[in-house]
Structure 1
Amino acid sequence: MKQNASGDLVINDGQMETVSGQEELAQCIRTIISNQLGDAPLAPELGMDYENLLGEDFNEAFAQSDFEDAILDQEPRVVAITDTEFSLDHKTRILSITLTMTVDMNQTENEDNYEEIEQEVTLDGGY
């Protein structure tokens, strides 16, 4: 089911919209990143550890490792994360993350089917 930027289901004319392909993968990655590990009672394994994202001493290396661990453990279509870029606005407490990933959309494990995609996710620490 398609979700908007707030995570709410998108409904048009009484019908829930659906997503597929890279849009669906992007939505799954946003779901992983935007949930703190253990906060979803029905899926306690969903999300990522926010310990290295909180506080004033933001450490990119630790945060990058947390993103990679969460995504690679929870999204089988992501084969590798080849680049992670952070942009932190200290005033608004908004963290923008741009991930460059190698993906296998059909999970064939055949390198000929691998694609390189880029995904941007924003986390709001000021809520």
Structure 2
Amino acid sequence: QLGGSRPIHSLHIGNDGAAFVEVLGGSSAGGDFQVLLPSAALMSPSESRAGAELRRVRLFGPDALVGVKPSPGGVKSSPGGAKPSPGPTWDRLRVVLSQPYCQSRPFGLSFLRVFSPPE
């Protein structure tokens, strides 16, 4: 659970042996979780089987996140002076990890950092 409802601009994920990660965003007000980061590889099958590169860090920017539009040159105001909508806001995240290539080793994340759009 996040501290408050906010748009998400990017994610930094520290792996600890998981092969794939998927991140879903939701609201404590209700409704279903929606895909924020579609399933992404954190390790290759050969790395998973060999136990190599278990603690890699991946950075996922706005181009990798669903429903988050990158803004070239920063956020610009519209002609009327109103700022454009930053996209959906989330106060809950569900992180789904999998490791189908090596079931004998525990896996997880070492960290997950969530970033809001720059002001």
TM-score > 0.5 by shorter chain:
no
Which has more helix, going by share of residues? 1
Which has more strand, going by share of residues?
Answer: 2
Query: TM-score scaled to structure 1, two decimals?
Result: 0.28
Q: Which has the higher contact order (CA 8 A, sep 6+)?
A: 2
TM-score, scaled relative to structure 2? 0.29
Based on CA coordinates, which of the two structures has the bigger radius of gyration? Answer: 2
